[in-house]
Amino acid sequence: MSDEKKSASNGANTRWWESYLVRYFSGAIVGTICLTVILLYADWRLYQGSHTKLSEFDKGLPTTVVVLALIASGLVYSYIISAPITVIHFGRSGRSNIEQHVRYFWFGWVGALGVTQLITGDGSPIISSGTWAWWVLLLLICLCYLFVSMHISRVPKRAMESRRARRRSESRRNAFRSFAWTGLMLFFIAAADCGLGLNGRSSAITLMAFALPTIFVGVMQYVTLWRIFHTEHVIHRFYRVLSRARTMEGSKDIRETYTHLREHSNSTFIVVLELCFSAFLIFLIELYADQYGVAEAASSGGHERMVSAVLFLIAFWMTPNLFMWSRANQIERDFARRPKLYSTNGKNAAERNQGEFAENSARAFK
């Protein structure tokens, strides 16, 4: 039997370069650029460029060594940034009510980035004493609408409502949810501008707005991890059904289709997260420089506080990924106890399992 037939029969993708190379190649390049920009910006903002002067560069390491070290660091950086994707990938069998708002966050984020360009740059805080009431009103309206829309989405559809009317209603609801998320992020940006003393500076506020997905993705992976812990039997049932479906005759084309889509999307997702995470680090450098200043940076103890903040951010970002090792062991034990549930015994068995999975999923994610 040829290697291609073996690969098709057991459902394995032996062409590793179609997944890992696509996923991390662009991420490694962008990660290298991000690390270089972060280091140069930190040196310029905190030390007035004293550590990266070209006149003193030849006294240090050779250029080739520095470039290779940056490329290797960029690859490691992209791998660290992709940590939440592992958690999201494992829990892809279903979504809780909160996770269903992920798409609206991304649409709202783009809207918030656009609005911040219009309301910043004049050197004055976004929230003044006379506008606090309007910002709080915006917050209440957005929160109330999101809460009500989540309740409406759980109401059974009316039988007499036409399919076209339902689609129009759902489209309007999706648009309003995106606008609500835009309002929530604008309130967060305005409150941070006031609380952190940014004074409406366009560069600092844009960095903070661009870095918002770092907080959102970091929090959402904890939400996904919590759902994984509480609905693990549903996830195991999903992988049993998936294992059967992947080895059925004629499944190769659809598997290659969604695999390529997912890997290219993962590559884009990693790049976006790298840019947002880097913007968050640069924003921390900017806050640190404003608070302590360049001259008193070394003597004020601000270095320790900044390093502590960065270490906390890394721990917050990567901790959920640690639990994937134990979740993989759980699937392995389930497979060892009941291997026949993961093997293909014909189309009828797979269809019965699909019906069982759909029923239990509906019960688990109500």
238 with 360, same domain: the answer is yes
Per residue in 221-238, pLDDT tens? 999 999 999 988 899 999
Mean of the pLDDT values across residues 284-290? 84
53 and 173 part of one domain: no
Mark whether 314 and 348 lie in a shared domain.
Answer: yes
Residue 113: inside a domain: no
Asked, for residue 111, whether it belongs to a domain, the answer is: no
Q: What is the pLDDT of residue 174?
A: 87
Is the model's pLDDT at 220 over the cut of 60? yes
Q: How confident is the model at residue 347 (pLDDT cuts 50, 70, 90)?
A: very low
Is 50 exceeded by the pLDDT of residue 44? yes
First to last CA, the chain: 47
Q: Which whole number is the average pLDDT over 137-166?
A: 75
CB within 8 Å of 194: residues ≥ 6 apart = 125, 126, 127
Would residue 344 count as lying in a domain? yes
- For 37-71, give the DSSP string: HHHHHHHHHHHTTTTS-GGGGGGSS-HHHHHHHHH
Q: Choose among 269, 274, 276, 273: nearest CA to 211.
A: 276
Residues 348 and 244 in one domain: yes
Which range has highest mean pLDDT (122-136, 268-282, 300-314)?
268-282
* Percent of the chain surpassing pLDDT 90: 36
Query: Which candidate, 115, 293, 297, 252, places its Cα nearest to that of 189?
Result: 115
Axis-axis angle for helices 252-292, 202-210 (nearest 10): 150
On the 0-12 / 13-18 / 19+ scale of CB atoms within 10 A, 324 is middle
Task: Give the dihedral of Cα atoms 286, 320, 213, 257; nearest 10 deg.
Answer: 140
Distance CA 315, CA 306 (A): 14
Do the domain assignments include residue 57?
A: yes
Looking at the structure, do residues 233 and 337 belong to the same domain, yes or no? yes
Q: Of 47-51, 137-141, 233-237, 265-269, which gets the smallest average pLDDT?
A: 47-51
- Could you give phi then psi for residue 176, rounded to 5 degrees? -65, -35
Tell me, what's the pLDDT at 105?
95
Domain for residue 104, yes or no? no
Quick one: DSSP state of residue 158?
A: P
What's the number of domains the chain is made of? 2
Do 22 and 142 lie in a common domain?
no
Q: What are phi and psi of 307, to 5 degrees?
A: -60, -40
Domain span at 135: 122-200
Residue 60: the pLDDT is 60
Whether 294 has a pLDDT exceeding 70, the answer reads no
Whether residues 196 and 214 share a domain: the answer is no
Q: Which of 143, 178, 200 is the last residue of a domain?
A: 200
DSSP letter for each residue of 195-243: HTT-TT-HHHHHHHHHTHHHHHHHHHHHHHHHHHHHSHHHHHHHHHHHH
**Which of 72-76, 133-137, 247-251 has the lowest average pLDDT?**
247-251
244 and 191 in one domain? no
**Is residue 196, in this structure, part of any structural domain at all?**
yes
- State the pLDDT at residue 259: 85
Q: How far apart are CA 84 and CA 319, in angstroms?
A: 9
Written as six digits, the tokens of 339 are: 């291997």
pLDDT (tens digit, 9 = 90+) per residue, 162-208? 777 778 878 888 899 999 999 999 999 988 888 887 877 888 889 99
pLDDT score of 5: 47
Same domain as 150, residue 32? no
Among 200, 225, 244, where does a domain finish?
Answer: 200
Residue 54: half-sphere exposure toward Cβ, Cα within 13 Å: 0
Q: Is the pLDDT of residue 69 over 80?
A: yes
Residues 192 and 220 in one domain: no
Asked if 274 and 29 touch (Cβ cutoff 8 Å), the reply is no
The rounded distance, in Å, linking the Cα atoms of 135 and 348 is 57
Nearest in space to 255 (alpha carbons), one of 83, 9, 2: 9
Q: Residue 172 and residue 150: Cα distance in Å, rounded?
A: 14
Question: Looking at the domain assignment, is residue 103 inside a domain?
Answer: no
Domain assignment of residue 101, yes or no: no
Backbone angles phi, psi at 299, to 5 degrees: -90, -10
Q: Which pLDDT band holds residue 155 (cuts at 50, 70, 90)?
A: low
- The per-residue pLDDT of the chain, averaged, comes to 80
* pLDDT of residue 16 exceeding 60: no
In the listed set 200, 226, 259, which residue is the last one of a domain according to the structure? 200
Q: Is the pLDDT of residue 106 over 90?
A: yes
pLDDT of residue 29: 92
326 in the same domain as 225:
yes
C-alpha 298/C-alpha 295 separation (Å) is: 8
Split at pLDDT 50, 70, 90, the class of 146 is confident
Which residue type does 293 have? G
Do 132 and 45 share a structural domain? no
pLDDT of amino acid 288: 83
